[in-house]
């Protein structure tokens, strides 16, 4: 049987506080999970850098994700300038969206670029 979206009626003989939901235990869903504790705190750095954006270029479709300096933990070699991207430096992770062997192969061949190297790259065949 489908649930009704109408508000619940107060039982006869109850005070008006039951209608607002302020007096009921478990009223509202904010902060009330199965554990009963508050929800976990949102990590804004992860939320800002966690999503990849799609870029179209003459050399194909690319997924680009920004890595903040606080989340950069390893050293990588930038394919644009062939120098190191040291730990603690903000950079981009880039992978091919239209890889010939599919999305999983494109993701497996992702590369870490300096932001400036990625934005100023040439579109010649590599």
pLDDT of residue 19: 47
pLDDT of residue 31: 47
Q: Is 110 helix (H, G, I), strand (E, B) or coil?
A: coil
Tracing tokens 């479709």 back to the chain, one arrives at 61
Neighbours of 92 (CB within 10 A): 21
pLDDT of residue 59: 82
Per-residue pLDDT of 53-104, as tens digits, reads: 899 888 888 999 999 898 889 999 999 999 999 999 999 999 988 888 887 8
Q: Is 124 helix (H, G, I), strand (E, B) or coil?
A: coil
Of residues 96 and 35, more confidently modeled: 96
Domain limits, the chain = 44-119
Alpha-carbon span 27 to 24, nearest angstrom:
6
**How far is Cα of residue 91 from the mean position of the Cα atoms in its chain?**
16
* DSSP assigned state of 24: S
Alpha-carbon span 32 to 76, nearest angstrom:
43
Identify the band that residue 52 occupies on the pLDDT scale cut at 50, 70 and 90. confident
pLDDT of residue 26: 46
Alpha-carbon span 57 to 64, nearest angstrom:
12
Sign of CA dihedral 80, 86, 90, 94: positive
Alpha-carbon span 67 to 8, nearest angstrom:
48
pLDDT of residue 29 exceeding 80:
no
Identify the band that residue 11 occupies on the pLDDT scale cut at 50, 70 and 90. low
Q: Is 116 helix (H, G, I), strand (E, B) or coil?
A: helix
């Amino acid at each position: 049987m489908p649930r009704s979206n109408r508000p619940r009626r107060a039982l006869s003989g109850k005070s008006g506080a039951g209608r607002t939901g302020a007096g009921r235990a478990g009223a509202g869903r904010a902060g009330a999970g199965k554990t009963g504790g508050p929800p976990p705190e949102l990590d804004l750095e992860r939320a800002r850098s966690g999503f990849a954006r799609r870029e179209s270029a003459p050399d194909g479709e690319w997924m680009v994700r920004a890595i903040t300096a606080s989340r950069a933990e390893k050293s990588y070699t930038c394919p644009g300038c062939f120098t190191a991207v040291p730990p603690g430096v903000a950079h981009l992770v880039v992978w091919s969206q239209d890889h010939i062997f599919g999305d999983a192969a494109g993701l497996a061949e992702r590369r870490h670029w300096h932001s400036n190297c990625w934005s100023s790259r040439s579109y010649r065949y590599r």
